[in-house]
Amino acid sequence: ENSLQKTSVPLSTNSHDAFIPPNMLNLSNFTKLMKKLQKLHPEASRDRIVDALLEVRKNNKGILSGLSISSIMERTSVIL
């Protein structure tokens, strides 16, 4: 757990330009995922979706790699 804390990057989810570390998802997949989640949850702000994605990552030992896009969407939707 300490190694996860040392490698985590501070995030500012209060900004529309919230930084998502490159190892979270590649940019293309992240963009596709955000568009799908925004369409599925039009009531949720972009920041709220990002927060939910970060929670999914936290709940999955600090990584999203290895999870399918559909699995990430399902887990994020539960949080939203």
Full pLDDT tens readout for the chain, 80 residues: 434 433 444 444 444 445 555 555 567 788 888 999 999 999 999 999 999 999 999 999 998 888 888 899 999 999 99
| CB of 74 closer than 8 Å to CB of 17 | no
Residue bearing tokens 């500012």:
12
> Which is it for the CA torsion 29, 31, 34, 36, positive or negative?
negative
Considering the entire predicted model, what is its pTM?
A: 0.65
Q: How far is CA 13 from CA 19, 52, 54, in A?
A: 8, 10, 10
- Residue 23 CB contacts under 8 Å (≥ 6 apart), including other chains: 63, 65
